[in-house]
């Protein structure tokens, strides 16, 4: 039974993360902001107009890195405090205030990249020879030289940064504050509904009448806000297109892929190949769900239900430790120590409460430990989600220790590889430890329904839809709710064909995803999972040598391109083979589910 969510002040403190590790009091936070502003003023005074040779380049970047490190805890605290309760006025006002402060700081500091970009190439190369600390930073700056604007224009654009980022804040406010769900009714009984309860429980509810009624009620509420949300999204898209044009990129795609260090062919291949090659496997999976559950028809609202809901064990936070420790033990003692600390030292926010951000994420502030947000419902899926976020944590726990603040973060293209790797390790561990057909089917269906469905299907279909949106924007167009609904529906219908009825409300799923405000992010999930699937197979086959290579990849942070990082782990992502291998592997898993289901049913 799904209950109404408590307010934040009612949840147990041990279920919440401990932000005291960033700032113990509001006074400490305010003092850090004041210290940051003072440091920026001193830095500007010392370096503005004085970066003119190789030694001054390295000295300025050293000071710039120090300031960047000061912004990290302040920005992280501001963001995390508001993410657990969007209804908290104090946290929202603090966030708004710091947004303005950060914009002023960015504007004042914009001279650094402007002055560096105006220096002759030989001076920058000389600086790289004199110090390897900032070689990576300068490489990226040299790549961007052609897109750098006049210093005064850069300063002005930086001053508007909080305004340019405003669409994302508006989206979250609409979603988490304004949108309030009424109870829905089935057979005369009322049931509570919220964003968290829908995505965490009702979507996977085995009772078809309740599940479909919840979907209809959820969709009806989304529909009330579709025009505001579409206008918000269009505002974000137009900002990106204008920035792309102003900076001289050929297309908005080139602009958004530039920092990912990925060319357009790798982006398109990921979407096109999966849409074509994976669809038949997933349609087979949809038919299996329909058969097992005896559904009159297979609708979009039925795709998330587990194959065997009666076998789904409830798992407490405490019990999850055992699964995760045993699954990730192959990663070594240092990695397991991080996992242990994350539970003991309250790095994780498990609570379910009103106003909390949906989904899950990991924030890994440089110079501090990671923080993980999840809303724990007690299903096995939560173990996979937590393992996923601990994959992000383990990545930056290693990279932040090994690299400077500019070198720690890799391309967005690679960011989901370490996270999905942990999901594969959990799955492999569970499969290895049982021969029971029902247990094996449950584990494999968890991998398909959670790891692959979420990362390879949900996010991939978002990416296919997003590409259609940007093609329209790139041609000088705009979007509204009707356009977005039609684009989303067309993508879903193309993938699922006649095997799944794309019922009313399915087209509104574009309203549920914050990733659209983060550039070309959704497709990177399947890219990361392609890499992690191949590496996890290596780890199963080769053991420790493959693990050691993977740990070196984590420590490398952003010092290599995605293709080079994958190559370090033994995967060549410049070809389509790893992707085709991964799709074939998903097909094998679904075939196993069909065979196991026949075996189980023959014994009943």
pLDDT tens digits, one per residue of 172-194: 889 888 899 999 999 999 999 98
392 in a structural domain: no
Note the pLDDT of residue 3. Answer: 65
Q: How confident is the model at residue 2 (pLDDT cuts 50, 70, 90)?
A: low
Q: Taking CA 87 as the corner, what is the angle to CA 86 and CA 90, rounded to the nearest 5 degrees?
A: 90
Note the pLDDT of residue 85. Answer: 92
318 in a structural domain: no
- The CATH number for 76's domain is 1.20.140.70
The widest CA-to-CA distance across the chain, in whole angstroms, is: 80
Q: How far is CA 252 from CA 36, 415, 488, in A?
A: 34, 21, 20
| 535-591: pLDDT as tens digits | 999 998 999 999 999 999 999 999 999 999 999 999 999 899 999 999 999 999 999
63 in a structural domain: yes
- Residue pair 529/415 in contact (Cβ under 8 Å)? The answer is no
349 in a structural domain: no
| 343-374: pLDDT as tens digits | 999 999 999 998 898 889 999 999 999 999 99
Q: Which residues contact 293 (CB under 8 A, 6 or more apart)?
A: 206, 208, 302, 305
96 in a structural domain: yes
Q: Tell whether the model's pLDDT for residue 402 goes beyond 80.
A: yes
Rounded to an integer, the average pLDDT of 188-211 is: 91
Nearest Cα residue to 236 out of 504, 521, 509: 521
Note the pLDDT of residue 443. Answer: 87
Number of structural domains in the chain:
1
Instruction: Please identify which residue in the block is written with the tokens 């508007």.
Output: 160
- Residue pair 562/260 in contact (Cβ under 8 Å)? The answer is yes
Phi, psi values for residue 299, rounded to 5°: -110, 165
Q: Tell whether the model's pLDDT for residue 433 goes beyond 60.
A: yes
Tokens, residue 213: 């009624």
Rounded to an integer, the average pLDDT of 412-418 is: 91
Range of the domain at 116: 8-164
When computed from its CA atoms, the radius of gyration of the chain, rounded to whole angstroms, is 24
Q: Tell whether the model's pLDDT for residue 285 goes beyond 60.
A: yes
Distance CA 317, CA 319 (A): 6
One-letter-per-residue 3-state SS of 359-411: CCEEECCCCCCCEEECCCCCCHHHHHHHHHHHHHHHHHHHHHHHCCCCCCCCC
Instruction: Please identify which residue in the block is written with the tokens 């490489």.
Output: 139
Distance CA 349, CA 13 (A): 9
Note the pLDDT of residue 509. Answer: 95
Rounded to an integer, the average pLDDT of 394-422 is: 94
252 in a structural domain: no
Nearest Cα residue to 276 out of 45, 69, 583: 583
184 in a structural domain: no
84 in a structural domain: yes
Distance CA 290, CA 275 (A): 22
- Residue pair 495/275 in contact (Cβ under 8 Å)? The answer is yes
Note the pLDDT of residue 196. Answer: 81
Distance CA 570, CA 546 (A): 9
Instruction: Please identify which residue in the block is written with the tokens 């584990």.
Output: 443
Note the pLDDT of residue 412. Answer: 87
Nearest Cα residue to 131 out of 56, 40, 51: 56
Mean pLDDT of the chain: 93
- Residue pair 388/364 in contact (Cβ under 8 Å)? The answer is no
Note the pLDDT of residue 308. Answer: 85
Q: Which residues contact 400 (CB under 8 A, 6 or more apart)?
A: 364, 366, 367, 408, 557
Which run of H or E residues covers position 189?
strand 189-191
């Amino acid at each position: 039974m799904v209950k109404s969510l408590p307010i934040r002040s009612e949840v147990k403190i041990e279920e919440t993360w401990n932000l005291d590790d960033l700032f113990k009091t509001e006074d400490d936070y305010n003092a850090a902001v004041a210290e940051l502003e003072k440091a920026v003023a001193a830095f500007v005074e010392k370096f503005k107009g004085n970066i003119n040779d190789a030694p001054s380049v390295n000295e300025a970047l050293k000071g710039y890195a120090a300031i960047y490190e000061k912004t990290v805890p302040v920005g992280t605290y501001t963001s995390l405090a508001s993410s657990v309760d969007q209804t908290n006025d104090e946290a929202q006002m603090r966030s708004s205030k710091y947004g303005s402060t950060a914009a002023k700081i960015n504007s004042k500091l914009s001279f650094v990249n402007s002055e560096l970009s105006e220096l002759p190439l030989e001076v920058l190369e000389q600086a790289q020879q004199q110090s390897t600390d900032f070689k990576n930073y300068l490489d990226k700056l040299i790549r961007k030289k052609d897109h750098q604007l006049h210093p005064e224009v850069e300063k002005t654009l930086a001053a508007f940064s909080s305004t340019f980022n405003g669409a994302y804040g508006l989206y979250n406010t609409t979603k988490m504050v304004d949108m309030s769900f009424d109870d829905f009714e089935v057979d005369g009984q009322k049931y509570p509904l919220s964003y968290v309860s829908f995505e965490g429980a009702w979507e996977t509810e085995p009772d078809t009448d309740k599940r479909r009624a919840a979907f209809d009620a959820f969709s009806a509420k989304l529909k009330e806000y579709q025009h505001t949300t579409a206008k918000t999204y269009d505002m974000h898209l137009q900002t990106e297109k204008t920035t792309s044009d102003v900076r001289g990129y050929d297309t908005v795609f080139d602009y958004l892929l530039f920092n990912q260090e990925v060319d357009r062919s790798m982006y398109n291949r990921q979407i096109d190949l999966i849409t074509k090659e994976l669809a038949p496997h997933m349609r087979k999976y949809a038919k299996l769900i329909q058969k097992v559950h005896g559904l009159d028809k297979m609708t979009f609202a039925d795709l998330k239900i587990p194959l065997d809901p009666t076998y789904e064990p409830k798992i407490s936070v405490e019990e999850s430790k055992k699964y995760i420790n045993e699954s990730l033990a192959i990663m070594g003692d240092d990695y397991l120590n991080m996992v242990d600390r994350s539970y003991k030292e309250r790095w994780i926010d498990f609570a379910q409460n009103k106003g909390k951000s949906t989904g899950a994420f990991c924030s890994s502030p440089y110079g501090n430990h990671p923080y993980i947000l999840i809303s724990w419902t007690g299903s096995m899926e939560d173990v996979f989600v937590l393992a996923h976020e601990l994959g992000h944590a383990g990545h930056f726990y290693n990279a932040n220790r090994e690299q400077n603040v500019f070198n720690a973060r890799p391309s967005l293209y690679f960011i989901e590889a370490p996270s999905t790797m942990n999901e594969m390790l959990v799955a492999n561990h569970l499969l290895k430890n049982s021969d029971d057909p029902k247990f094996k089917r449950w584990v494999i269906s968890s991998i398909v329904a959670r790891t692959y469905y979420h990362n390879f299907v949900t996010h991939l279909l978002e990416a296919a839809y997003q590409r259609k949106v940007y093609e329209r924007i790139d041609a000088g167009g705009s979007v509204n709710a009707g356009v977005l609904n039609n684009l989303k529906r067309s993508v879903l219908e193309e993938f699922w064909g006649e095997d799944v009825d794309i019922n009313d409300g399915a087209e509104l799923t574009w309203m549920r995803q914050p990733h659209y405000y983060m550039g070309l992010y959704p497709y990177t999930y399947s890219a990361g999972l392609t890499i992690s699937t191949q590496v996890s197979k290596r780890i199963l086959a080769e053991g420790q040598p493959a693990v050691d290579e993977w740990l070196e990849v984590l420590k490398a942070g952003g010092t290599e391109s995605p293709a080079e990082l994958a190559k370090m782990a033994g995967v060549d992502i410049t070809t389509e083979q790893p992707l085709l291998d991964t799709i074939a592997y998903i097909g094998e898993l679904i075939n196993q589910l069909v065979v196991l289901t026949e075996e189980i049913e023959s014994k009943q």
